[in-house]
């Protein structure tokens, strides 16, 4: 092992015996009362010295070899240390994923710089239904986040309205949405039909995917977790993230709305059959929605609690401040019945 103070955390000495590692809530830790020997050992934890060398340094400085172990007992649980021996060299394609990997290591406080967690993402397959401005950006963000197979299920032609930063490029206009994105995604051969492969997770942009009720129902029956996203008028919505049998599904939300407004089913049906002639989808709002959606998907797959579970996250122009709306499984839906 070659301990190194986490290269993504700042370190600053408050005084000769007190060091602060990290600068933000949840990441910053202050270690005080350090002896000169402990301070010297801490400064030598730069990834170049192994444990034997650090113990020799402690002894030479007039301390005990146990000084190294005592420091590691403090630093490792705090996520302030990585092991340079466990981190691969940042060559080739690994270099591009370095910021994502170290971000993961700050969350799980792993010694390998997030390598194991990032590798798990590479074994995942996600299907995107509906690749307009929002869906296309979600697909590219998930691919950049390390998802091994991002499959786009959308054969509609790219229009000028679909072009956006981080989504479809201008030269994609006129070709199928899945093929427009294929060049950016490591998802194997471009799709030949609309049947998605078996998937670990699905993202459905209900604003551009007319078949979204079919997909949500099929995923509930198949037990596949999925997330709804959309931009409607000047409001972006992320959620619900549905874990079949455990959390509220899309039908639950419609039943709750029907309890409050008996005209809701009629309004929903007409909105689906007669969509707006010129749908609004602000570029900054769609980017914010895509970023939130991708973050929720990655956090869920990484094993963390997410805000879109039994809830929706809503952003509204012009302020763009996200707020969460809670939803519970509806007793008449049946999606959580044993």
CA distances from 10 to 228, 311, 316 (A): 37, 35, 35
Position 97 scores a pLDDT of 86
Q: Which residues, at least 6 apart from 144, have a Cβ–Cβ distance to it below 8 Å?
A: 100
Position 194 scores a pLDDT of 43
Position 186 scores a pLDDT of 67
According to DSSP, the β-strands at 201-205 and 226-232 are parallel
Position 91 scores a pLDDT of 62
Q: Scanning the structure block, which residue is given the tokens 């591009």?
A: 96
Count CB neighbours of 257 within 10 A: 17
Position 197 scores a pLDDT of 59
What is the value of pTM for the model shown? 0.91
| Among the listed residues 192, 161, 160, 156, the one whose alpha carbon sits nearest the alpha carbon of residue 175 | 156
Q: Scanning the structure block, which residue is given the tokens 């270690």?
A: 31
Would you say 261 and 268 are in contact if contact means Cβ atoms under 8 Å apart?
no
Position 275 scores a pLDDT of 84
Percent helix, percent strand, percent coil in the chain, to nearest 5: 40, 20, 45
The topology under which CATH files domain 122-326 is Rossmann fold (3.40.50)
Q: Which residues, at least 6 apart from 76, have a Cβ–Cβ distance to it below 8 Å?
A: 109, 111
- pLDDT < 70 stretches in the chain: 90-94, 186-197, 338
CATH assignment, 3-93: 3.90.930.60
For residues 28 and 108, give the distance between their C-alpha atoms in angstroms, rounded to a whole number: 15
Domain boundaries, the chain: 3-93, 122-326
Q: Scanning the structure block, which residue is given the tokens 């839906």?
A: 333
CA distances from 186 to 122, 151, 152, 198 (A): 10, 9, 11, 16
For residues 67 and 56, give the distance between their C-alpha atoms in angstroms, rounded to a whole number: 10
Q: Which residues, at least 6 apart from 75, have a Cβ–Cβ distance to it below 8 Å?
A: 3, 5, 21, 31, 45, 81
| Among the listed residues 179, 104, 177, the one whose alpha carbon sits nearest the alpha carbon of residue 145 | 104
Q: Which tens digits make up the pLDDT trace of 221-238? A: 999 999 999 999 999 999
| Among the listed residues 237, 230, 202, the one whose alpha carbon sits nearest the alpha carbon of residue 218 | 202
For residues 168 and 92, give the distance between their C-alpha atoms in angstroms, rounded to a whole number: 26
For residues 126 and 119, give the distance between their C-alpha atoms in angstroms, rounded to a whole number: 15
């Amino acid at each position: 092992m070659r301990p190194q103070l986490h290269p993504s955390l700042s370190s600053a000495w408050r005084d000769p015996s007190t060091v602060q590692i990290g600068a933000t809530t949840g990441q910053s830790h202050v270690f005080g009362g350090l002896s000169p020997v402990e301070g010297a050992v801490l400064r030598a934890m730069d990834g170049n010295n192994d444990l034997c060398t650090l113990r020799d340094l402690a002894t030479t400085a007039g301390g005990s070899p146990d000084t190294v172990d005592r420091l590691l007992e403090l630093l490792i649980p705090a996520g302030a240390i990585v092991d340079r021996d466990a981190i691969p060299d940042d060559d080739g394609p690994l270099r591009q994923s370095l910021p994502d990997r170290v971000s993961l290591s700050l969350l799980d406080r792993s010694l390998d710089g997030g390598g194991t967690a990032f590798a798990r993402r590479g074994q995942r397959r996600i299907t995107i239904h509906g690749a307009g401005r929002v869906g296309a950006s979600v697909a590219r963000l998930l691919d950049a986040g390390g998802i091994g197979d991002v499959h786009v299920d959308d054969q509609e032609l790219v229009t000028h309205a679909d072009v956006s930063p981080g989504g479809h490029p201008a030269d994609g206009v006129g070709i199928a949405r899945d093929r427009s994105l294929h060049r950016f995604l490591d998802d194997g051969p471009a799709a030949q039909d609309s049947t998605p492969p078996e998937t670990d997770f699905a993202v459905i942009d209900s604003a551009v995917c007319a078949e979204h009720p079919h997909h949500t129902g099929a995923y509930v029956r198949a037990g596949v977790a999925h997330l709804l996203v959309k931009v409607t008028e000047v409001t972006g919505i992320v959620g619900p993230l549905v874990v079949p049998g455990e959390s509220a599904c899309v039908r639950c939300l419609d039943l709750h709305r029907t309890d409050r407004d008996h005209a809701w089913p009629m309004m929903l049906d007409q909105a689906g059959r007669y969509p707006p002639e010129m749908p609004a989808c602000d570029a900054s709002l769609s980017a914010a929605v895509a970023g939130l959606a991708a973050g929720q998907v990655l956090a869920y797959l990484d094993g963390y609690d997410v805000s879109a579970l039994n809830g929706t996250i809503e952003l509204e122009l012009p302020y763009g401040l996200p707020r969460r709306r809670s939803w519970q499984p509806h007793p008449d839906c049946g999606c959580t019945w044993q």
